[in-house]
Structure 1
Amino acid sequence: MKIVFVSLDTLRADRLGCYGYALPTSPHLDQIAEEGVLFEQAFAADIPTEVAHTGIFTGKVGLRTGVVSHGSPLSQLPKHVEWLPEILRKAGFVTGAVDNLYQLKEWFARGYRYYINSVGRERWIDGRTVNDLAIPWIREHKDEDFFLFLHYWDCHTPYLPPLDYVRSFYDEHKNPYDSTNQSMKRAYNHPAYPFFKHHHYSLLGEVADATYVNALYDAEVRYLDDRLRELDECLREQGVYDDTLLILFGDHGESLTEHDIYWDHCGLYDSTVHVPMILRWPNRIPPRRRVSGLVQQVDLMPTVLEALCLNPPRHLDGKSLWPAIDGLCEQTHARIYLSECAWQASRGVRTSDYKFIQTIDSGPFVRPPCELYDLRSDPNETNNLVDLLPEKVLAMAQLLNDWVTHTLDGREDPMNDVLRRQGLPFRRRIEQILCQVGLTWNDWLKDPSKRRFDELYEMHVPSGVGT
Structure 2
Amino acid sequence: MNILYLDLDSLRPDHLGCYGYHRNTSPHIDSIAKDGVRFTNYYCSDAPCAPSRTALMSGRFGIHNGVVGHGGTAADMRHEGVSRGFSDRLGKESLPGMLRKLGYKTASISTFSERHSLWTFNAGFNEVFNNGHKGHEAAEDVLPIALKWLEDNAGKENWFLHLNFWDPHTPYRTPDEFGNPFEHEPMPAWITEEVFAQHKQKQGQHSIEDMNKLALSHYYKHQRHSKQIEQYNDLRVILDNYDTAIRYMDAHIGQVIGKLEELGLMEDTAILISADHAENMGELGIYSEHGTADQGTCHIPMIIRWPNGGVQGIADDGLHYQIDLAPTLAQLLGAPASDYWDGTSYAATITEGASTGRDYLVLSQCAHVCQRSVRFENWLYIRSYHDGHHGFPKEMLFDLENDPYEQKNLANEKREICMQAVYLLNEWHDEMMSTMEHDNDPLWTVMKEGGPLHAREYLEWQNK
Shorter-chain TM-score bucket reads: 0.7 to 0.9
The 3 A distance-change label for structure 1 pair 188 and 280 is closer
**Distance in 2 of aligned mates of 1:408 and 1:99:** 33
Instruction: Please name the residue that 1:414 is paired with.
Output: 442
Instruction: Please name the residue that 2:317 is paired with.
Output: 292
The 3 A distance-change label for structure 1 pair 185 and 201 is farther
Are 1:374 and 2:386 counterparts? no
**Unpaired runs of 5+ in structure 2?**
80-87, 186-195
One of 248, 255, 264 as aligned partner of 1:230: 255
**Distance in 2 of aligned mates of 1:368 and 1:422:** 19
The 3 A distance-change label for structure 1 pair 242 and 310 is same
Are 1:278 and 2:278 counterparts? no
Are 1:386 and 2:411 counterparts? yes
The 3 A distance-change label for structure 1 pair 342 and 372 is same
The 3 A distance-change label for structure 1 pair 278 and 199 is farther
Are 1:135 and 2:147 counterparts? yes
8 Å contact from structure 1 (residues 184, 207) kept in 2 = no
Instruction: Please name the residue that 1:34 is paired with.
Output: 34
Q: Deviations over 1:170-201 (max 9, x none)?
A: 149xxxxxxxx998786677468766644435
**Distance in 1 of aligned mates of 2:65 and 2:266:** 35
Deviation at 1:313, TM superposition (A): 1.2
**Distance in 2 of aligned mates of 1:15 and 1:39:** 14
8 Å contact from structure 2 (residues 283, 407) kept in 1 = no
Are 1:89 and 2:100 counterparts? yes
One of 210, 218, 221 as aligned partner of 2:235: 210
**Distance in 1 of aligned mates of 2:139 and 2:43:** 24
Instruction: Please name the residue that 1:106 is paired with.
Output: 119
Deviation at 1:328, TM superposition (A): 5.5
Amino acid at match of 1:362: D
Deviation at 1:242, TM superposition (A): 0.9
Q: Deviations over 1:121-151 (max 9, x none)?
A: x751111221111111111112222111111
Instruction: Please name the residue that 2:82 is paired with.
Output: none
Instruction: Please name the residue that 1:153 is paired with.
Output: 166
**Distance in 1 of aligned mates of 2:140 and 2:221:** 24
8 Å contact from structure 2 (residues 283, 406) kept in 1 = no
Q: Secondary structure at the match of 2:219?
A: helix
TM-score for the superposition, normalised by structure 2 = 0.86
Amino acid at match of 1:349: V
Q: Deviations over 1:293-324 (max 9, x none)?
A: 11121111111112221112105221112112
Deviation at 1:411, TM superposition (A): 1.9
The 3 A distance-change label for structure 1 pair 73 and 218 is same
Are 1:356 and 2:377 counterparts? no
Deviation at 1:72, TM superposition (A): 3.6
**Distance in 2 of aligned mates of 1:237 and 1:123:** 29
Answer with 362-371 or 183-192: which moved more.
Answer: 183-192
Amino acid at match of 1:13: P
Q: Secondary structure at the match of 1:326?
A: helix
Instruction: Please name the residue that 2:175 is paired with.
Output: 162
Are 1:115 and 2:128 counterparts? yes
8 Å contact from structure 1 (residues 28, 225) kept in 2 = yes
Counting only pairs closer than 5 Å after superposition, residues 423-462 of structure 1 correspond to structure 2 as 423-434=451-462, 439=463
The 3 A distance-change label for structure 1 pair 191 and 362 is farther
Deviation at 1:281, TM superposition (A): 2.2
Counting only pairs closer than 5 Å after superposition, residues 219-258 of structure 1 correspond to structure 2 as 219-258=244-283
**Distance in 2 of aligned mates of 1:213 and 1:184:** 14
The 3 A distance-change label for structure 1 pair 228 and 68 is same
8 Å contact from structure 2 (residues 274, 302) kept in 1 = yes
The 3 A distance-change label for structure 1 pair 170 and 72 is farther
Instruction: Please name the residue that 1:67 is paired with.
Output: 67
Matched-pair identity in % = 30
Answer with 203-212 or 284-293: which moved more.
Answer: 203-212
**Distance in 1 of aligned mates of 2:242 and 2:314:** 28
8 Å contact from structure 1 (residues 165, 222) kept in 2 = no
Deviation at 1:207, TM superposition (A): 3.0
Instruction: Please name the residue that 1:465 is paired with.
Output: none
**Distance in 1 of aligned mates of 2:254 and 2:344:** 30
**Distance in 1 of aligned mates of 2:356 and 2:452:** 34
Deviation at 1:379, TM superposition (A): 2.0
